[in-house]
């Protein structure tokens, strides 16, 4: 273990991430207000594939008011979003397309002033624009817009423009960090700072509400109909209860978690290091660690102290 601050200890362990299939897309709108409405709707109910159709989140804002080194095709404020599904899902390609189509059709097309652009049209890809264009009921057209060919769908509010093809790629999901603290306020502040740090690393998302998961889970349950349940050895209020093999250190009152999904292992690892650095200085944070399952879940290991495992 390594001490990062006056009291905080970074455990020499790894977050057990695993391979994903992901697609990313760019939303633009006339201003930040309507852009945020589209982001929140399109990435909603996308915390965990335990029950959600995918894990979804905001990568970063681009264009005016965001990362201005990224120029949006229409010159308006934009946001890059990602959707991930586990690569071990049998019908992962179809599942990701279904999630993408539903979320863009129901939450971007319907949001005032928006347009939707692909960040990759290389193979393999989904013909998202064509499928969405049927909403135009025969009045849709392919036109040259913003230096590219796009489907233009007439709507009561004006027009909705969307690229024809959206490429999908192999990614990584399930990177994670746990912040063990002497109070709920401290663990939450650490998690919030960690999420903010991740937002400065292009190519990752933190899919839970506000980027923070307060209900970390374990695989399996006493109930046969559940395949995930509360991670009881790490629930502070269960420490000392008979029959509970608590792994909570003395004095720890709250453990908040963040999940990090991204383009690849290197990107998720970079975000992890940025998150640790931001969170370790919070007073009351005693330990930063991560969840793993001994290699049973995935082989994308994100080491918290990578310099100790350069040959791993």
pLDDT digits (tens, 9 = 90+) for 190-233: 999 999 999 999 999 999 999 999 999 988 899 999 888 999 99
Within this chain, do residues 37 and 125 fall inside the same structural domain, yes or no? yes
- Whether the predicted model's global pTM rises above the 0.85 cut: yes
Q: Are 274 and 187 in contact (CB under 8 A)?
A: no
Q: Which of these three, 139, 169, 199, is where a domain ends?
A: 169
Q: Are 68 and 77 in contact (CB under 8 A)?
A: no
- In the structure encoding, which two tokens stand for residue 234, read together? 């790490």
Q: Are 26 and 78 in contact (CB under 8 A)?
A: yes
Within this chain, do residues 145 and 176 fall inside the same structural domain, yes or no? no
Residue 140: domain span = 21-169
Question: How would residue 298 be classed by pLDDT, with cut points 50, 70 and 90?
Answer: confident
Q: Tell me whether the omega of the peptide bond preceding residue 124 falls within 30 degrees of 0, making it cis.
A: yes
pLDDT of residue 311: 60
DSSP 275: H
Of 219, 191, 227, the closest CA to residue 206 belongs to: 191
pLDDT of residue 2: 59
Q: Are 108 and 39 in contact (CB under 8 A)?
A: no
Within this chain, do residues 78 and 165 fall inside the same structural domain, yes or no? yes
Lowest mean pLDDT among 26-30, 243-247, 301-305, 307-311: 307-311
Tell me how crowded residue 223 is: count the other CB atoms within 10 A of its CB.
8
Distance CA 131, CA 13 (A): 45
Question: How would residue 1 be classed by pLDDT, with cut points 50, 70 and 90?
Answer: low
Within this chain, do residues 162 and 63 fall inside the same structural domain, yes or no? yes
Question: How would residue 302 be classed by pLDDT, with cut points 50, 70 and 90?
Answer: very high
Residue whose tokens read 């100790």: 308
Question: How would residue 257 be classed by pLDDT, with cut points 50, 70 and 90?
Answer: very high
Beta bridge partners of 27: 79, 116
Q: Which of these three, 169, 204, 230, is where a domain ends?
A: 169
Distance CA 67, CA 79 (A): 9
Over the stretch 33-73, which tens digit does the pLDDT of each residue have? 999 999 999 999 999 999 999 999 999 999 999 999 999 99
Within this chain, do residues 120 and 206 fall inside the same structural domain, yes or no? no
pLDDT at 3 over 70: no
Within this chain, do residues 200 and 120 fall inside the same structural domain, yes or no? no
Residues found in the chain: 312
Distance CA 228, CA 47 (A): 14
């Amino acid at each position: 273990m390594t001490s990062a601050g006056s009291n905080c200890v970074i455990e020499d362990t790894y977050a057990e991430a695993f391979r994903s299939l992901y697609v990313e897309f760019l939303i633009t709108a006339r201003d930040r207000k309507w852009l945020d409405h589209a982001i929140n709707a399109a990435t909603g109910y996308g915390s965990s594939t335990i029950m959600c159709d995918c894990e979804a989140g905001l990568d970063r804002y681009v264009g005016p008011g965001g990362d201005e080194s990224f120029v949006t095709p229409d010159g308006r404020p934009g946001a890059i979003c990602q959707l991930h599904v586990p690569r071990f899902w049998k019908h992962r390609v179809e599942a990701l397309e279904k999630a993408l189509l539903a979320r863009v059709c129901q939450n971007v097309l319907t949001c005032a002033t928006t347009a939707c652009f692909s960040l990759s049209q290389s193979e393999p890809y989904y013909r998202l624009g064509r499928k969405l264009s049927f909403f135009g009921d025969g009045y849709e057209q392919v036109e040259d817009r913003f230096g590219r060919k796009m489907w233009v769908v007439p709507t009561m509010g004006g027009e909705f423009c969307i690229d024809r093809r959206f490429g999908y790629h192999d990614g990584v999901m399930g990177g994670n960090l746990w912040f063990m603290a002497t109070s709920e306020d401290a663990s939450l502040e650490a998690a919030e700072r960690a999420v903010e740090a991740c937002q400065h690393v292009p190519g990752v998302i933190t899919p839970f509400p506000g980027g923070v998961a307060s209900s970390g889970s374990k695989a399996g349950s006493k109930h046969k109909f559940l395949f995930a349940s509360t991670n009881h050895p790490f629930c502070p209020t269960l420490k000392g209860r008979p029959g509970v093999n608590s792994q909570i250190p003395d004095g720890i009152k709250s453990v908040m978690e963040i999940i990090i999904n991204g383009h690849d292992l290197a990107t998720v690892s970079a975000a992890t290091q940025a998150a640790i650095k931001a969170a370790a200085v919070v007073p009351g944070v005693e330990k930063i660690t991560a969840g793993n399952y001994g290699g049973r879940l995935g082989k994308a290991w994100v080491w918290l102290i990578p310099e100790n495992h350069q040959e791993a």
